[in-house]
Amino acid sequence: MNTTAHPDTVLIIDFGSQVTQLIARRVREAGVYSEIVPFQSAEEAFRRIEPKAVILSGSPASTIDIGSPRAPQMIFEAGVPVLGICYGEQTMCAQLGGSVEGGHHREFGRAFLEIEDECALFDGVWAKGTRHQVWMSHGDRVTTIPDGFRVVGTSTGAPFAAIADEKRKFYAVQFHPEVVHTPDGSKLLANFVHRIAGLRGDWSMAAYREQAVAAIRKQVGDGRVICALSGGVDSSVAAVLIHEAIGERLTCIFVDHGLMRKGEGEQVVSMYREHYNIPLVHVQAQDLFIGALEGEADPEKKRKTIGRLFIEVFEQEAKKLERDGKRAEFLAQGTLYPDVIESVSFTGGPSVTIKSHHNVGGLPDRMNMKLVEPLRELFKDEVRALGRELGLPDHFIERHPFPGPGLAIRCPGPVTREKLDILREADAIYLDEIRKAGLYDAIWQAFAVLLPVQTVGVMGDGRTYEFVCALRAVTSVDGMTADFYHYDMNFLGNAATRIINEVRGINRVVYDVTSKPPGTIEWE
């Protein structure tokens, strides 16, 4: 798929903020398609996409430094509405004749915005004379605004915390409206795309499904597709969507590596063969993967080993299909938009490194296959919405996220068959207790971790020397920030008692209360 199918697109220019993806999510939640591009390619993207509005993201950079990122000047001359956020406000002002200085009352975290005047960005949300919580993250601040702008909001550390030039439809804010810590921020972004840019809210999964099916048929033609089915939501939704487009010319290959949660391999096979009648090759490769991982402690080596073996097994199965006269020219992958963004990020920080168990455009050249990636424009929550649109069962769609390397990375330290079996049983009991308590849908992700620690304990009349199991549960609205779930102690006591009583090899259970702050990319 490509953006020619989305005539009303908002272009988001990424200057390196760790929460740029949230801007795109909020715009899409308002029913408008958005696309992120790094600032170096923004001019080319602006000409190609012809967006109806532009948003400038935040950045760890400083506009006062020589060579710091800038927006293409043509954007300010094109007559389209522009919204600058944090660094985006600062570079907008610097490029249009204002000034920015460093060292003035840095603001990080919760702050309060005083609404000094009415403006279209605040319509129906914030009134003149009121005070509202926002989330700040800046060391520099604007000290002079360009001609044509007026101040509509201030904060303790930012006298130009919100500015507007209605004639040119330029708006800028020093705070971050995209994060949940600015409670009304999504409404401000909705005002920008609807009231200011005049865009309709017609971006929906029903429309996307129709466009995606047409795009798949156009790309594949009369060819065949094989899909690397992991058993997760992403590859499953991709498979069902492609099957709708080309039917029996899709073959799914499910490589069962023995690192899934208890019973999940059987569930995947049952769903695809019995409910969807999608051609499925089930490869029993548990011995191969676990044998290669046994004794390996380094998490990155685990990932790379799993990725390498997966490709090798997949290639073998593809060759078998070719010998049977079912050669596929295309490979389907459940690549998501965050994977694409991270793979082209311009910074040298954490957002540049794509998760190493993903394979965005990274097939070995020897396979000589073209990629079909029907989800590469979607965020995780949008994939779930598309899955519901396609009729996948809710219990499958709403399943907690599970990383590609599976239990291998939830078993820190050397991997052994025994430890994987212990972890699988503990994890199953934990999730069973969560479901019985009616908490599963209230938690974004929950799982057990088998720590590389053994402790002495007394169980009954005997001494034991067994593993410690850690339980984790987090809540999240966007998958990028998270807080630990605040369990009732009775629940934790019941879950821990069951695990210790029923799983031989564990004699102690702890609960992880680590939170995931704004800006971190991955939570596993």
Q: Where are the alpha helices (DSSP H) in 85-232?
A: 87-95, 185-191, 205-220
**Active-site entry in 6, 132, 138, 176:** 176
Alpha carbon of 423 to those of 187, 272, 409, 418, 419: distances in Å? 43, 27, 11, 9, 6
Count, in order, helices (H) and strands (E) of the chain.
15, 20
| DSSP helix/strand/coil, 452 | strand
Residue with tokens 């500015």: 163
* Residue 471 · residue 429 · CB < 8 Å: no
How far from the centroid of its chain's Cα atoms is residue 291's Cα?
31
For the question of residue 86 being annotated catalytic, the response is yes
Instruction: Quote the tokens at residue 513.
Output: 């209360």
Residue type for position 52: K
Interior angle at CA 429, CA 426 and CA 435, nearest 5: 140
Q: What is the DSSP letter of 404?
A: T
Is there a catalytic annotation at residue 178? Answer: yes
For the question of residue 176 being annotated catalytic, the response is: yes
Spatial distance between the Cα atoms of 23 and 179, rounded to a whole number of angstroms: 8
Pair type for strands 170-173 and 107-115: unpaired
CA distances in angstroms from 54 to 90, 346, 385, 518, listed in the order given: 15, 19, 26, 23
Catalytic annotation, pick one of 86, 252, 411, 469: 86
Of 89, 107, 178, 382, the catalytic one is: 178
Backbone angles phi, psi at 282, to 5 degrees: -100, 110
Which residues are catalytic, by number? Answer: 86, 176, 178
